[in-house]
Chain A
Amino acid sequence: MTELTRFTVTELCQTLEISQGDLYEIVGLGVISPIDTETVWLFDYQALCALRRARRLQTELDLEWAGTAMALTLLEKIDRLEHDNAQLRRQLDRLLQV
């Protein structure tokens, strides 16, 4: 039932209702990357999720793609920092509890 998923450019554009031009701009900005740039572009599900989030932010905050890319970079950085922070806090608690 479970499987690895790959999406073509057309599938991504149809699923998220964006133009191919927009998709090329988003890839150019580094928001998502195809699995292999040498052959036909295919994207994994993480890319679809990142693109869906980008699309939502772009529409709902009324942003340009470049601004969206910046917002996503900062949000990912915050996610990573929050994750690291929670992990370090748990380790510190373990060190201090003993």
Chain B
Amino acid sequence: MEFKDYYALLEVEPTADLKAIKTAYRRLARKYHPDVSDEKDAESHFKAVAEAYEVLKDSERRAEYDRIRLHRNDPRFSGASSGFGGGSWQHTPGSDAEYSDFFESVFGQRFHSAQQGSTRRQPRRGEDLEMEVPLFLEETLAEETRAVSYKLPIYDALGRQTDVKVKTLKVKIPAGVVEGERIRLKGQGVAGTQGAANGDLYLVVRLAPHPLYEVAGQDLHIIVPIAPWEAALGATLQVPTLNGKIALTLPANSQNGQRLRIKGKGLANKKGTGDLYAILNVVMPPKSDEKASELWRELSRQATFDPRAAWEKP
């Protein structure tokens, strides 16, 4: 079992007072907290720092740790606790905290008992679990049946994780789900203790980026490439929607970037039905042959249009 130097982890001297320890923890927690950090391995850094703080903020635990620290090079120390493989983390439900083997072997039993004494004597509802379900946009149009597999942690009476069971469920995902929507599967989370209810499993919908459409609320946006003469003269185009192609009438003198609304061809859900917006993108042919070049030259001779007229204004 590897000895943990909690003072080094918190970057404080072994003589540091509680205030210095608290400040160091707050600084490092801000640096490594997975919700706010961009650092590499932020999560494992944070866990290590949180564990160090858990020990050093408590005078009794700190005193015991200091005794062990004093004798850490004593050969008898390494034999004092046995049976641990090193490197693995234990999970404590409710607290979201995981501790190293070192912590578990020195403080684990009393720590978990104390936790149980304070909060776990009464029946306790099981933890909720959450997992992401990736869906293609097309799969949100109708009810979708999915098999989802997830890991269900099993805990002993002291609240220590003893096992992990892989569970598979067949789930109906209702039509019209949106990005980030959560689907509750009642009672499929972690088991409750002493007859209390199980936690729930929540599926979080994640829409895969679509090659053609961007989703904006209930509306869809599609970029429609058009030729310069289609923009100038108008045209009827076939535009793909989520349920088949539709004819779009392009008015004469359409502009690059112009948005045309195709009503009711967005996403449908309980809030209503969105629209599809066609965003025009005028595209030049990659190259012109001699005949086409002559036609452009002819147009250039006739036209009085100055696309940079705005630059001339003060």
Kindly state the separation between the CA atoms of A1 and B36 in the bound complex, as whole angstroms: 35
Contact across chains for A61 and B33 when beta carbons are under 8 A apart: yes
The reply on A15 being an interface residue by CB < 8 A is yes
Contact A60:B50 (CB < 8 A) given known A2-B174, A45-B184: yes
The reply on B300 being an interface residue by CB < 8 A is no
From A15, A45, A60, A86, give the contact of B125 (CB < 8 A).
A15
Kindly state the separation between the CA atoms of A91 and B209 in the bound complex, as whole angstroms: 11
Chain B neighbourhood of A14, CB < 8 A: 125
Contact across chains for B36 and A71 when beta carbons are under 8 A apart: yes
- B29-60 CB mask vs A (1 if < 8 Å, else 0) is 11001011000000000100010000000000
The reply on A40 being an interface residue by CB < 8 A is no
The reply on B265 being an interface residue by CB < 8 A is no
User: How many residues on A have C-beta within 8 angstroms of the other chain's C-beta atoms?
Assistant: 27
Kindly state the separation between the CA atoms of A90 and B210 in the bound complex, as whole angstroms: 10
Contact across chains for A90 and B186 when beta carbons are under 8 A apart: no
Contact across chains for B185 and A62 when beta carbons are under 8 A apart: no
- Name B's interface SS: mixed
- B211-222 CB mask vs A (1 if < 8 Å, else 0) is 000101000010
Kindly state the separation between the CA atoms of A62 and B29 in the bound complex, as whole angstroms: 8
Kindly state the separation between the CA atoms of A75 and B36 in the bound complex, as whole angstroms: 8
Chain B neighbourhood of A57, CB < 8 A: 33, 35
**17 A-B contacts, Cβ less than 8 Å apart?**
A1-B172, A1-B185, A4-B184, A5-B200, A15-B128, A17-B119, A48-B128, A62-B22, A71-B36, A75-B35, A75-B36, A86-B209, A90-B214, A91-B214, A91-B223, A98-B223, A98-B225
Contacts A17-B119, A60-B33, A61-B26 supplied; 19 other A-B pairs, CB < 8 Å: A1-B171, A1-B186, A2-B183, A3-B186, A5-B184, A15-B125, A45-B182, A45-B184, A45-B202, A46-B182, A56-B96, A60-B29, A62-B25, A62-B26, A71-B36, A75-B35, A94-B281, A98-B225, A98-B283
Interface residues of A (CB under 8 A from B): 1-5, 14-15, 17, 45-46, 48-49, 53, 56-57, 60-62, 71, 75, 86-87, 90-91, 94-95, 98
Interface residues of B (CB under 8 A from A): 22, 25-26, 29-30, 33, 35-36, 46, 50, 94, 96, 119, 125, 128, 171-174, 182-186, 200, 202, 209, 214, 216, 221, 223, 225, 281, 283
